[in-house]
Structure 1
Amino acid sequence: MVTMVNTVGKVTEALRERVPPLTSIPLPRTVDERWLGARWPVRELATPPAGSGLKPVLGDDGPPLVGHVPEMMRFGVEFGLRRHEQYGPVSFMGGFGRRIVALSGPEATQIALVNKDKAFSQEGWRFFIEHFFERGLMLLDFGEHHLHRRIMQQAFTRPRLSGYVDQMGPALRAGVAAWSGRYRPRLYWALKQLTLDVATRVFMGMRGSDDAARINRAFIAAVRAGSAIVRYPVPGGRWAAGLHGRRVLERYFAENLPAKRKGDGDDLFSALCHATTDDGDRFTDTDIVNHMIFLMMAAHDTSTITSSAMVYFLAKFPDWQDRARAESLALGDDLPGIEALDRLETLDLVMKEALRLVAPVPSMARKTVKDTEVLGHYLPAGTLVGISPTVNHFSPGCWTDPARFDPERFAEPRREDRSHRFAWMPFGGGAHKCVGLHFGGLEVKALLHEMLRAYRWSVPESYTARWDYTALPVPADGLPVQLDPRSSPAR
């Protein structure tokens, strides 16, 4: 344990020194001392039962009510590494008026995500997002989750995925071409709009309308509400906006559901309406509304974040951009199908490394439904738990020079992601591993393929993206890039 803590401390320092560092925010001495526990007294979460031989979970509460949430949102990756350095793989922190146990490192996260004794429930998510993504797949537990997942998998079969790829191709090519002439766009926002256009077309069968903009605003409000510190519908507040967004989404899907039931569309909405297992199990209308709201959020935001991170790293490392472009140009001018996208091996490597460095879902919530233990530490029933891939993705026991951008670490024969089952976990793990991970990967590769064909892009050598972790990680400045048509000389 001492070795792990010390080596993670070295990685933290490396993050400040290497190019590109993952945060450009200087660390004031006061913040640094607070992280290291000089300011907040170390306490025990709960006293282990007598004779159990278990150790208490140690941690600190931080400032009243808000706890360490502002620091976590501001510093992201480095915050997680520092907490692990201070307390090890099992600790607690104050946040949202609660104590939250943080599990970090491959061994601790494996225990919770594999969940052999069924002690860790998805109820943890309900604390953050149930009001906005009620009964989405991620919020269901055990047998009910297994049933719903079996039905939903009918919408993500290989033939279905191939159809989705064929639908998204024209939207992506037209959307990327529309950026021509915008030489310094805030590319995150352009990518967000484009992935929304794809989501509304492939998921809902919409072809662009005023409804799309309204739906986008509703999704943004619902996602951001989950991290609200004031968790009450104060007019004008984030929580109230999220509740309103949820109502907008419910009305939209409920109004359009009967036509999808009757029709024979090839969008995801239609697929869920008709999905049936071999045993005849199907979704109710209410199930479909809940799952569509959740899936739109999950697919839209994670694809935007992943593509933004890839754009950033390809701008910082132009040799990798050139290598990926050569493979895309080799496919010719036809819109790529699923088999063609599978051949873009360089984009695969870059995507995996981007997912390691900027995990789209930086924390996965759980709640203990009975007393349990993790690595010899006592967690009582009712404990709110946060499982983060941060330390796993930067563990020197799993990764060579983990602060460095190095996509080759995922190529044969290195395959550093195989160093531990949970060394690389951007999609979670266990029974709740992301059901749409293949769809997301295909969408991101198709998007980057179109960008590589149409443009070259760059950022100043001195530029470093700063990721805002208020909800999910997004570039705080919108990711300004120099975007040049590929047939034009660089500006």
Structure 2
Amino acid sequence: MAAQPDTLFAAPSFNSAWRALSHLPHCGYAPLHVDLALLRDTLGFARRVQQRAGSVSRAILVGRPQALLMSADALETVLADTSGRVSAAGGWAPFLGELFPRGLIMRDGEDHRLHRRRMLPALRRDALDQHLARMAPRVDAAVDGWVQAGQLDLHDAFRRLTLDLASDVFLGVRETADVEAAHHDFVQLVDASAAILRLPEPWRRHTRYGRGLAARARLSAFLRSRIAARRDDPGGDLFSQLCVLRDEDGLAFDDEEIIDHMIFLWMAAHDTTRSALTTATRALALDEAWQERLRDELGAGDAARALPDLDALNRLQALGWSIKEALRLFPPIPTLARQLRADMEVDGQHLPAGTVVTLFLLAVQRDPRWWAEPDRFDPERFSPERADAQRHRYAWVPFGGGAHMCLGQHFAQMQARLVLRSLLVRSRWQLPADQVKARMAFAPIAHPPAGLRVQLRSR
């Protein structure tokens, strides 16, 4: 493409960065302990920091001095900035720079806008209609199998289904062996993003981080081997579209750009949706009255079981509220990272240029200033009657905000509605007694560490 990625903002030295933040309250955690506390109990960590230090504090996280931001005002100031003072690439580089290089998340400014605009056609309304028609029969067939099994780990079942759908829609790949190999690699890739120990070669290869880099290399080889064939005979999937794309000047994505974009989108299209489906299904298993309410909304008989179009899915208001509430309680990505390119005033605190900031979406989405009984599953919060006009517009941001708002949010919500609708039409489900109080983890992606075993009964 014509534009090149922005150069990362030159980060200040460790000592100067820490001194520059000395006016901020300290988070209360020593280096390394802060990383472990955040990974072990993200919500508890955020609440303890808020109580000790307020909405803007300082910490040494992943070896970098940075500001922790835990208010809706702070999120809006940083995410909605249009002046070029905030860099996504600078924030994410230490975590994801080697794992997802040159993907959308690692691009800023005009370069980011150019690459993002090129991908939009695959996620517009007419494209979503096509994707839905392609996915719906496969979703119903998968759910029929789950109901027949009677008891299974839905978190794992969602993994298989969302990866199958993302592989088909985004890559045009349906071969079981290829999809299973990709899943193994994506598990290691996402796991590596939360690795604290990141050794240089040759010591890294047997570490969690090294295994993630090896997984990325295998995914790259898988895509690279198929690019020429897609250029010669493109299909209707996003991978093919990127392979044959030409801009107004006749310039195309090169092979490495295609690989970088597809690995990130392929991961994002299934792993975050899997998380949302798991947390929504778990919440409904714990609240059977809401399960019944959603079934009442669907109706009964053949009409309820008919394959839906996008308009029919979007008319399921209560189902939409339930998904939004699950995303509020368990945002798939609980924190976002940014770096400031210029001095900024954030929630009453001065942050100098070069500051790395971590934005706690999870803390804001459970902030009692905006949400009554913030830990309770209550989908009616999103109903027109209950929607609070005074609620901060950045109090619910599971898809991020501003220029880097999730490109696939409409696809993800459509897919979640489609799968939950099929489950509701075909079954009732509940958790075994030992699963009711099972721990939920928030990082690196919201998930139940022990899986989500459910008992399904056919309707």
Q: Is the 8 A contact 2:304 2:425 kept in 1?
A: no
1:235 is aligned, of 205, 220, 224, to 205
Deviation at 1:118, TM superposition (A): 2.4
Aligned ranges 1:440-459 → 2 under 5 Å: 440-459=412-431
The amino acid across from 1:169 in the alignment is: A
> What is the SS of the residue equivalent to 2:33?
coil
> In 2 relative to 1, CA 479–378 (structure 1 residues): closer, same or farther, beyond 3 Å?
same
Deviation at 1:197, TM superposition (A): 1.0
Deviation at 1:484, TM superposition (A): 1.6
Q: Using the alignment, how far apart are the partners of 1:253 and 1:356 within structure 2?
A: 34
**Aligned pair 1:286/2:256, yes or no?**
yes
The amino acid across from 1:79 in the alignment is: F
2:181 is aligned, of 211, 214, 217, to 214
CA RMSD in angstroms, aligned pairs only: 2.1
Q: Using the alignment, how far apart are the partners of 1:258 and 1:473 within structure 2?
A: 37
Aligned length: 436
**Aligned pair 1:86/2:52, yes or no?**
yes
1:250 aligned residue: 220
1:6 aligned residue: none
Q: Using the alignment, how far apart are the partners of 1:172 and 1:418 within structure 2?
A: 39
**Aligned pair 1:101/2:67, yes or no?**
yes
1:479 is aligned, of 446, 452, 455, to 452
Q: Is the 8 A contact 1:325 1:453 kept in 2?
A: yes
Deviation at 1:417, TM superposition (A): 7.8
1:126 aligned residue: 93
TM-score normalized by the length of structure 2: 0.89
Q: Is the 8 A contact 2:333 2:444 kept in 1?
A: no
Q: Is the 8 A contact 2:27 2:49 kept in 1?
A: no
Q: Using the alignment, how far apart are the partners of 1:135 and 1:352 within structure 2?
A: 30
1:366 aligned residue: 338
* Residues 334-373 of structure 1: CA deviation (Å, up to 9, x unaligned): 2222122112222101000000000001011111223333
Q: Using the alignment, how far apart are the partners of 1:225 and 1:392 within structure 2?
A: 26
1:71 aligned residue: 37
Q: Using the alignment, how far apart are the partners of 1:416 and 1:281 within structure 2?
A: 47
Q: Using the alignment, how far apart are the partners of 2:408 and 2:357 within structure 1?
A: 24
Q: Using the alignment, how far apart are the partners of 1:272 and 1:161 within structure 2?
A: 17
Q: Percent identity?
A: 36
Q: Using the alignment, how far apart are the partners of 2:359 and 2:127 within structure 1?
A: 32
**Aligned pair 1:324/2:290, yes or no?**
no
Stretches of structure 1 that go unaligned for 5 or more consecutive residues are 1-43, 49-54, 487-491
Deviation at 1:472, TM superposition (A): 1.0
1:19 aligned residue: none
1:301 is aligned, of 268, 271, 291, to 271
**Aligned pair 1:347/2:319, yes or no?**
yes
**Aligned pair 1:333/2:305, yes or no?**
yes
1:409 aligned residue: 381
1:146 aligned residue: 113
The amino acid across from 1:483 in the alignment is: L
Stretches of structure 2 that go unaligned for 5 or more consecutive residues are 1-16
Q: Using the alignment, how far apart are the partners of 2:398 and 2:219 within structure 1?
A: 27
Q: Using the alignment, how far apart are the partners of 1:60 and 1:424 within structure 2?
A: 24
Q: Using the alignment, how far apart are the partners of 1:425 and 1:469 within structure 2?
A: 15
Deviation at 1:416, TM superposition (A): 3.4
* Residues 143-201 of structure 1: CA deviation (Å, up to 9, x unaligned): 11111111111211111111111111122112222223433322211111111111111
Q: Using the alignment, how far apart are the partners of 1:313 and 1:423 within structure 2?
A: 21
Instruction: Single out whichever of 473-482 and 452-461 deviates more from structure 2.
Output: 452-461
* Residues 214-235 of structure 1: CA deviation (Å, up to 9, x unaligned): 1111111111111111112523
Q: Using the alignment, how far apart are the partners of 1:426 and 1:332 within structure 2?
A: 29
> What is the SS of the residue equivalent to 1:180?
helix
Q: Is the 8 A contact 1:150 1:277 kept in 2?
A: no
> What is the SS of the residue equivalent to 2:58?
strand
Q: Is the 8 A contact 2:432 2:453 kept in 1?
A: no
